[in-house]
Structure 1
Amino acid sequence: MGLLDIFTKNYDEMDFLYDIDLLEDTSDRIYYKKLAIATCVNLIARTISQSEFMMKKKGEVQHDEFYYRLNVKPNKNQSASEFWETFVYKLIHDNEVLIIKTDSDDLLVADDFSRTEYALMDDVFRDVTIKDFTYQRTFVASDVIYIKHSNEDLSRLLDSLYSDYGELFGRMLEFQKHNNQIRATVDTENVNPKDPEKQTRMQNFIDNMYGAIKKRTFAIVPQQKGFVYQEQSERASRTSGSVDEINKVTNGFLDHTARALGIPPALVRGEMADVEKSTRNYMTFCIDPLLKKVKDEFSGKFIDKRDYLKGERMDIRSISYRDLFDLASAVDKLRSAGIYNGNELREKLGDERVDDPILKEYVITKNYSESIEGGEN
């Protein structure tokens, strides 16, 4: 009997085996890149959404429509915190963000738009889309708030970085799955491949058996005539070492993503060692530059040049990461040395000025006053 005769004789049996669904792809795609970006963006968004935006004239906060829109209700459908979180998402994900002002003075973050740049004239924004509504009119740069995050698209940099990390992570993940995979063989001897009813019953039995082994801690497989199930996995060779290696790879990508946004990696990983130092660096190199962009753009659009030169300013009071009582000693020194008056120190601490003559005065204690020759301080 030749080789061709063997294949011809067993063709029906082999075709029957190909029809039975014994293999199933149960792998879940894990988007570690999106997780890393979302972790960093959420941290920035939560921080900026807790800031207070205000306009000051001669050092006094103006509680007007501008203050209400930026701190309470920018538009009919969003609170201030939701508005600023959306602002941060668009700024970092899309590398740019556009805010328009409607006829009812609502502030809206555009979901999509096209920008035409000019050298000596205002840029023009067309096809401004917010949810399911697209403006037919055009907007010029002097009538909108437009902020660009950086000179190069962050998502493009992260995509290039992830191409290497993703390949490495995928190989390690597949290796770990292979080590922990349950492998088994099913002997279907004496099963008639031409009987549709038996074929269906066999397929249902295999599906139920596979589901029991996959989901249950303990699974009992009944032995049937002509049907033998036998595991081939080598459980003794399975180790947890690869899990630690996978975590190192994912943490490495998270660290690079955090650094690209100016966030100390220890902060996103939740490490408590030197948390105050990490928070200070985070505020200095990540949050403050973003708030400076916001302050410059809003000042240029809402404050006239003449008023700005007269002292009108936009101010952003960011969230404080320092305990007020820890600063009490330093505040006392600044006050008693005559460097700041009470109201100026209140502003430094994040509070508003108060109309109290005592806080408007500069005082110097005896310890800091000049000595009088031949007398007391």
Structure 2
Amino acid sequence: MGFIDWIKGFVTKDDGSISLKEYHYELSVKAYAKKLAIETCIDIIAKTLVRCEFQTFDKGKETIGNNYYLLNVSPNDNQNASEFLHSLVNKLIKNNECLVIMQSDQLFVADSFTRTEYALKENEYKNVSAKTLNFNKTFYESEVLYFKLNDTNIMNVINELHEDYGRILDSAINIYKRSNAKRVLLEGDFLRPQSEEEQSMIDEMFNTQFKNWFEADNAGAVFQLQKGYTLTDMSGSGKSGTPSTTSRDIRAVIDDIFDFIAMAFHVPRGMLKGDLADVEKQTDNFLMFCIMPLIELISDEFNRKMYDKKQFIERTYLKMDSSRIKIIDIVQLATAADKFFAIGVNNIDENLRMIGREPLNEDYSQKRYVTKNYESVDSIGEESKGGEGT
């Protein structure tokens, strides 16, 4: 038993129990770093995807109809598109899967469900619930939107890895607390016979004076040492009196937790921690390995459930436009917009949308133009042949 525990034994009676508040604190110390990293990753991914626009096409022509409104504005009566996508990403990452129910021309993210897989017929979904709504029916694969992130749930790996790192983090915190705790050496004759008066003085020293001295919240405290006792401050380590560990040791363990969670979700470590160094490279890496695969996953599922094969072949489909994710200065876009227009890639309306402005929707703004500086390779070849024969 440590000296501090010995002193506390005089002041309080320990019955071996732990209060609910202390138990909750013990759990939170182990879990808060992991939860912070996971929730931050989810928030970054969801907010990035929200920047995308669901574009709908009818036989190759971009249209704005019911599906466009449903996916970009209001999927259901109680959520806007941003809230809906946040909920979808949250379920997808934490559970490795997410189920979206299409009911009464509305989309709902399911909170719980039971999935039964089949090889030669449609999968079934039962016990589906969303908020307070319980669907007392069986849904079939063609009636729902089902998203699966990975073949193996990465959260299971994170939880197993965090079991060990949680213990390391606890150890670092405990070592820090012990290293920075007040430690004293009390010397005196405690084994000699004590009269009631002397015992009363000793009890007063331990129960009141020591307690007030160790638990003082102000800048200082005075301790009245009884005659025959010597008190030596042993706080700190070594001759320098400085703690053997600092809060940086705890931060190093937390950084490790952030690093392996960032790795699991393909979120750059610097982006997760808010570092500004190499932001552009971090963003490109994030888009390539995290966001673009999610865009493919989400758009593929919407396309195969909202449109049939014939419609898709005829170019009636939807896609998620990721061009708005990166914020680019309009001046930087000027040269690119001019080049796209000059070679006929964009018309005026498409250039306006590219810089975030509303299209004109006029006949002339939807025509494509090409500068006269360009000509086909075939025409150059014909001219060469004609020159050789003259």
TM bin (shorter chain): 0.7 to 0.9
Using the size of structure 1 for normalisation, the TM-score is 0.78
For the residues of structure 1 that align with 2:162 and 2:246, how far apart are their CA atoms? 20
Q: Which residue of 2 aligns with 1:44?
A: 45
1:358 paired residue among 357, 364, 383? 364
| Per-residue CA distance 1:54-102 (angstroms, 9 max, x = gap) | 4221454443333333222322332221111111110000000011123
Secondary structure of the residue that 2:305 maps to in structure 1? helix
The change in CA–CA distance for 1:325 and 1:137 in structure 2 (over 3 A counts) is: same
Secondary structure of the residue that 1:29 maps to in structure 2? helix
The yes-or-no answer on 1:280 pairing with 2:275 is: no
TM alignment of 1:107-126, pairs within 5 A: 107-126=107-126
1:333 paired residue among 307, 316, 339? 339
Aligned partner letter, 1:44: I
For the residues of structure 2 that align with 1:191 and 1:94, how far apart are their CA atoms? 68
Aligned partner letter, 1:178: R
TM alignment of 1:75-224, pairs within 5 A: 75-103=76-104, 105-184=105-184, 203=207, 209-212=213-216, 215-216=217-218, 218-223=219-224
Q: CA deviation at 1:359?
A: 3.6
TM alignment of 1:179-328, pairs within 5 A: 179-184=179-184, 203=207, 209-212=213-216, 215-216=217-218, 218-223=219-224, 231-234=233-236, 236-239=240-243, 242-318=246-322, 319-323=324-328, 324-328=330-334
Secondary structure of the residue that 1:256 maps to in structure 2? helix
Aligned partner letter, 1:56: F
For the residues of structure 2 that align with 1:220 and 1:131, how far apart are their CA atoms? 55
Asked if the contact 1:52–1:71 (Cα under 8 Å) also holds between the matched residues in 2, the reply is yes
Which structure 1 residue ranges, 5 or more long, are not aligned? 1-14
Q: Which residue of 2 aligns with 1:20?
A: 11
User: After the TM superposition, which of the residue ranges 307-316 and 319-328 deviates more from structure 2?
Assistant: 319-328
Secondary structure of the residue that 2:29 maps to in structure 1? coil
Asked if the contact 1:21–1:203 (Cα under 8 Å) also holds between the matched residues in 2, the reply is no
Q: CA deviation at 1:206?
A: 5.9
For the residues of structure 2 that align with 1:116 and 1:191, how far apart are their CA atoms? 79
For the residues of structure 2 that align with 1:232 and 1:272, how far apart are their CA atoms? 43
The yes-or-no answer on 1:67 pairing with 2:71 is: no
Asked if the contact 1:258–1:264 (Cα under 8 Å) also holds between the matched residues in 2, the reply is yes
For the residues of structure 1 that align with 2:211 and 2:134, how far apart are their CA atoms? 51
Asked if the contact 2:205–2:226 (Cα under 8 Å) also holds between the matched residues in 1, the reply is no
Aligned partner letter, 1:86: S
Q: CA deviation at 1:117?
A: 0.6
For the residues of structure 2 that align with 1:204 and 1:65, how far apart are their CA atoms? 75
The change in CA–CA distance for 1:89 and 1:229 in structure 2 (over 3 A counts) is: farther
Aligned partner letter, 1:255: D
Asked if the contact 1:49–1:82 (Cα under 8 Å) also holds between the matched residues in 2, the reply is no
Q: CA deviation at 1:205?
A: 6.7
Secondary structure of the residue that 1:159 maps to in structure 2? helix
The change in CA–CA distance for 1:223 and 1:123 in structure 2 (over 3 A counts) is: same
The change in CA–CA distance for 1:63 and 1:179 in structure 2 (over 3 A counts) is: same
For the residues of structure 2 that align with 1:138 and 1:186, how far apart are their CA atoms? 74
Q: CA deviation at 1:296?
A: 0.7
Asked if the contact 2:112–2:129 (Cα under 8 Å) also holds between the matched residues in 1, the reply is yes
For the residues of structure 2 that align with 1:77 and 1:210, how far apart are their CA atoms? 54
Aligned partner letter, 1:182: K
User: After the TM superposition, which of the residue ranges 163-172 and 248-257 deviates more from structure 2?
Assistant: 163-172
| Per-residue CA distance 1:311-363 (angstroms, 9 max, x = gap) | 11112233431413212112212322344444455566666765333343333
User: After the TM superposition, which of the residue ranges 17-26 and 324-333 deviates more from structure 2?
Assistant: 17-26
Asked if the contact 2:209–2:224 (Cα under 8 Å) also holds between the matched residues in 1, the reply is no
Identity of aligned residues (%): 32
The change in CA–CA distance for 1:258 and 1:349 in structure 2 (over 3 A counts) is: farther
Query: What root-mean-square deviation, in Å, do the aligned CA atoms of Structure 1 and Structure 2 show?
Result: 3.8
For the residues of structure 2 that align with 1:16 and 1:347, how far apart are their CA atoms? 73
| Per-residue CA distance 1:258-307 (angstroms, 9 max, x = gap) | 12212222211222222112112212221111111111111111112222
